[in-house]
Copies of this chain bind each other. A is one copy, B any other.
Amino acid sequence: MTNLKVISEYQCFAGKVGFYSHASSTCHGEMRFAVYQPPQASQKPVPVLYFLSGLTCTEENFMVKAGAQRYAAEYGLMLVAPDTSPRNTGIAGEDDDWDFGTGAGFYVDATTEPWKAHYQMYSYIVQELPTLINANFPTQSEKQGIFGHSMGGHGALVCAMRNPHLYKSVSAFAPITAPMRCPWGEKAFSRYLGTNEEAWRSYDASELVKQLGYHSSILIDQGTADKFLTSQLLPDVFAQVCAEVKQPLNLRYQQDYDHSYYFIASFMADHIRHHAIALG
Interface residues of A (CB under 8 A from B): 10-14, 17, 64-65, 67, 69-70, 223, 225, 254-258, 260-263, 265-266
Contact B70 A11 (CB under 8 A): no
CB contacts (< 8 Å) of A223 on chain B: these are 11
- Count of this chain's copies in the oligomeric assembly: 2
The complex places the Cα of A11 from the Cα of B264 at a distance, in Å, of 11
Nearest chain-B residue to A223 (Cβ)? B11
25 pairs from A and B in contact (CB 8 Å cutoff): A10-B258, A10-B260, A10-B262, A11-B223, A11-B225, A11-B254, A11-B255, A11-B256, A11-B257, A11-B258, A11-B262, A11-B266, A12-B262, A12-B265, A13-B265, A13-B266, A17-B262, A64-B64, A64-B261, A65-B65, A67-B67, A67-B265, A69-B262, A69-B265, A70-B265
| Closest residue on chain B to residue A14 by CB atoms | B266
For A257, list chain B residues within 8 Å (CB). Answer: 11
A257–B14 Cα distance when bound, in Å, is: 9
Q: Nearest chain-B residue to A70 (Cβ)? A: B67
Q: Complex: how many Å from CA A260 to CA B261?
A: 19
Q: Give CA–CA (A104, B232) in the complex, Å.
A: 42
How far, in whole Å, are A64 and B262 apart by their CA atoms in the complex?
Answer: 8
Q: How far is the CA of A14 from the CA of B262 in the complex (A)?
A: 10
Tell whether A11 pairs with B263 under 8 Å between CB atoms, given A64-B64, A65-B64, A70-B67.
yes
Instruction: Tell me the minimal C-beta distance from A239 to chain B in angstroms.
Output: 22
Task: Please name all residues of chain B whose beta carbon is closer than 8 Å to the beta carbon of A10 when the two chains form the complex.
Answer: 258, 260, 262-263
Which residues in B have their C-beta under 8 angstroms from that of A260?
10
Closest-CB distance, A271 to chain B (whole angstroms):
14
A64 and B63 CA atoms in complex are apart in Å by: 11
A268 to chain B, nearest CB (A): 9
> Given contacts A17-B262, A65-B65, A67-B67, could you give 12 more A-B pairs where the C-beta distance is less than 8 Å?
A10-B260, A10-B263, A11-B257, A11-B258, A11-B262, A12-B262, A12-B263, A12-B266, A13-B266, A14-B266, A69-B262, A70-B265
